[in-house]
A and B are shown apart, each in its own frame.
Chain A
Amino acid sequence: MEEAAKKGRVTPLASLFPVEEAHKAVRRVHETLSEKEAELDQFRGFISDNTNLINLVQKLPEGLHHNIMVPFGKAAFFPGRLIHTNEFLVLLGEGYHVERTSKQTVAILKRRGKALESQVESLKATMQDLKAEASFFGITASEAAEGLVEIREDYVEENFTERESQSGPPKEHPPSFSEADKVKVAVEDEEYSRMMSRLDELEKAELEAEYGNERHEDIGNVAVSDEEYARMMSRLDELEKEEHEAEFFNERDEDNAKLAVNDEEYARMIARLDEIEKKPETERDNERDEDEKIKANFDRSSDQTSLDKINRFSESRKLLEQTKDKKSATEETLSKRDTRKDLTDQLNCTGLTVQSRPEEMSHGKGLVQSIMKSTSLEKALVLPEVKENVQAASSSRSEVSRNSVPTNPGGAQALGKEWSFPQVDLGLLPRIQNRDLIVARLLQVPL
């Protein structure tokens, strides 16, 4: 343990994510969020206009003609008559009008309404993602402000028998959920892949060995020369034990099991050591079969986890910190690997959808223009007046879109670049790396 302590590097979280910048990021996300809310309100206005229009169009054919006050210029009306009450010239877009009856017009308007509503839904989804980001940044900012530190350690290969002496007290670092995570993950990326390949090789060796009743040799391997194999073996045995021990684990999440297990893991490890030596041959056979199941468990656990389980990870990391058990850490990283892949996938998804939103937005604006134009046609086509309104509205709308462009291209650009961050073969990503990228993107800082 002392060796590991010597090689550790302590980095205050505040230096990686300066508190101010984190706050700025939060504020920026809030601004974008409020922009989106304004757009949402606009959409809702469009939808209500559309509904009103549908009602009007349905009501008009009820009479052969209607006596109305016809708008004349900017500030005058004269009494007139609305005739041909079932004939509507509907603006389809791009200057194309088509003569339709009341029913047909209503059909067109309903289709437009559906399109608007789908846009509203997508906008709401974007807003949700933004809110999640905002909360994430809030957490980062508060963590940085509290003075949490990141500790990176080089991974030191430990002798199997020495683990007993390493149950020492946690180091003098301030408690932090991210520590153990970075410690284990940053250090064990390569080790993990190495271990997995070793595991495969050694499994085969085991199989052959067992059939020839060479269990003693295996135990010899475990106890003495092959440290890696021994570690992996005992860890796998641990996981098997979890399976063996409780059928009721099947009902709970795999993670819960792992968490509950972490507490006693260390003690069990020792017990396991003894067990290995005493185990009969047949049980070893079962173990081999169980290895497959364990891998399936990893996949299962990754399926079950989600963004919400970040908290659970924090807890597990805390436990890791206490036991100082690197084996358990590798187990955690194995499960985290898959979950972080989910995280990145989810983040990927959000990134992609944010990119496509701006384009959909413009659809809605075009539609509104056409709706406003068609209402003018009903009022006996006083085009100049309405056109002024439409133009004023469209100029303000284009301003809105222009304003949103600067924020998006940068984001879209950065998205295009940074979501292909270099992944370890097996997708092991420390949580902090995601943060790096998200913060960097929003702070417009080149990584």
Chain B
Amino acid sequence: MASPAALRELQRELETKADDLNKIQKDISKNHQVRKKYTIQLGENELVLKELDLLSEDANVYKLIGPVLVKQDLAEANANVRKRIEYMSAELKRLDATLQDLEDKQNSKRDAVLKVQQRIQSRQAGKAKA
């Protein structure tokens, strides 16, 4: 019978599917890290915005750009911080969607892997009986 060859084929299939699954999992963890970074920054920006709101109009705001402390306008600083917050929330949403995608793919890959495994097992069981 072509059974040994078919068995090897199945095993190869299993390997490739397992590799895909691993890749997807790595992607998911990377996604998580990036998400985490963005979340931290978003939190920080929100704090900054809160403090800026508490300032009076004539307070001096400086921004550290490299080694330089640059005087900034309060209104300008407010606007910048708000824009950053918006941008980061949008990024987070995008990442969430990607994450969801990846998770779905991961599930389907996992099912495929299991199926191939089952086929291999049944094949082997059949061979053992024969």
Q: Which residues of A contact B (CB under 8 A)?
A: 89, 91-100, 108, 111, 115, 358-359, 362-363, 365-367, 383, 401-402, 405-406, 409, 413, 446
Q: Is the CB of A359 within 8 A of B60?
A: no
Neighbour of B32 across the interface among A97, A111, A409, CB < 8 A: A409
* A108 vs B41: C-alpha distance when bound (angstroms): 19
Is B103's beta carbon under 8 Å from chain A? yes
| Additional 4 contacts, C-beta under 8 A, given A98-B61, A99-B59, A383-B67 | A93-B47, A98-B62, A362-B36, A446-B110
For B61, the closest partner residue in chain A by CB is A98
Closest chain-B Cβ to A102's Cβ sits at a distance in Å of 15
Q: Is A94 touching B29 in the complex (CB atoms < 8 A)?
A: no
B29 and A406 form a contact (CB under 8 A): yes
Task: Tell me which of A92, A383, A406, A446 contacts B51 (CB under 8 A).
Answer: A92
Query: In the complex, what residues of A have CB within 8 A of residue B8's CB?
Result: none
B48 close to A93 (CB less than 8 A): yes
Is there a chain A Cβ closer than 8 Å to B24's Cβ? no
Complex: chain A residue closest to B66, CB-CB: A95
B-chain residues with CB within 8 Å of residue A413 when the two chains form the complex:
103
Complex contact A94–B32 (CB within 8 A): no
User: Chain B binding site: helix, strand, loop or mixed by DSSP?
Assistant: helix
Identify which of A362, A383, A446 gathers the most chain B CB atoms within 10 Å of its CB.
A362
Residue of B nearest to A107 (CB): B54
* B32:A405 contact, CB within 8 angstroms: yes
Can you list 10 A-B contacts (CB < 8 A)? A92-B47, A93-B44, A94-B41, A95-B63, A96-B77, A99-B62, A100-B59, A363-B47, A405-B32, A413-B103
**Majority-rule SS of A interface residues:** helix
Q: Which of B29-81 contact A (CB under 8 A)?
A: 29, 32-33, 36, 39-41, 43-45, 47-48, 51-52, 55, 59-65, 67, 69, 72, 77, 81
Chain A residues with Cβ below 8 Å from B29 are 405-406, 409
> Which chain B positions have C-beta within 8 A of A363?
40, 43-44, 47
Which 8 pairs show the lowest CB-CB distances between chains A and B? A362-B40, A95-B64, A93-B48, A99-B60, A93-B44, A366-B44, A97-B62, A92-B48
The answer to whether B48 touches A96 (Cβ under 8 A) is: yes
Instruction: Determine the chain B residues whose CB is within 8 A of the CB of A446 once the complex forms.
Output: 110
Given contacts A96-B63, A108-B51, contact A366 B33 (CB under 8 A): no
- Interchain CA distance A268-B36 in the complex, whole Å: 62
Q: Within the complex, which residue of A93, A94, A98, A405 is in contact with B36, where a contact is CB–CB below 8 Å?
A: A405
With a CB–CB cut-off of 8 A, which chain A residues contact B93? none
- The docked-state distance in angstroms from the alpha carbon of A108 to that of B43 is 16
B28, B48, B77: which has the most chain A beta carbons within 10 Å?
A: B48
Cα distance A157–B124 when bound, in Å?
A: 44
- Bound: A147/B33 CA distance, A: 43
Beta-carbon contact of B63 and A97 below 8 Å? yes
* A96-B52, A96-B77, A409-B28 as given contacts; A89 in contact with B62, CB under 8 Å: yes
| A446, B106: Cα distance in complex, Å | 13
**Set of chain B residues within 8 Å of A115, measured between Cβ atoms:** 47
Contacts of B94 in A (CB 8 A): none
Q: Which residues of B contact A402 (CB under 8 A)?
A: 33
